[in-house]
Amino acid sequence: MIRHAICALALMISPAMAQQKASAGSGAVLRGLNKINGETFDLEMAVGQTMSFGSLQVTLMECRYPAGNRTGNAYASLEVSEVGREGTVFSGWMIASAPALNAMDHARYDVWVMRCTTS
């Protein structure tokens, strides 16, 4: 039920996103949360870079923001895997203003996009 609501919301947002011109950032700032001890970490990454956060390996594939508005809503494509676990924990786009729209599902860690960076 929730998955269907998210898909419906994504379909409603898509036409607006398609009409909005976007610029590609050279990197992004992500925030990580360790849910066990409450510690947060900011990860400043370049596109194509992989960084460790706890047992996670986070790769920034792409970051986009509204053209002409570097501080506007960021959209980041991420791939997250976990050491010792097959496959990916998360693969897809995260939206800074709506992190729950396509959130990573992990028992211990949470990761979300804060903003894109430019060189």
Please list the rounded mean pLDDT of every run of 10 residues in the chain (119 residues). Answer: 48 53 90 95 96 95 86 89 93 90 90 90
Query: Which structural domain, as residue segments, surrounds residue 46?
Result: 22-117
DSSP result, 1-45: -HHHHHHHHHHHHHHHHHHS-EEE-SEEEEEEEETTT--EEEEEE
* 11 located within any domain: no
* 17 located within any domain: no
Domain count, the chain: 1
* Model pLDDT, residue 118: 87
**8 Å CB contact between 96 and 74:** yes
* 74 located within any domain: yes
> pTM here?
0.78
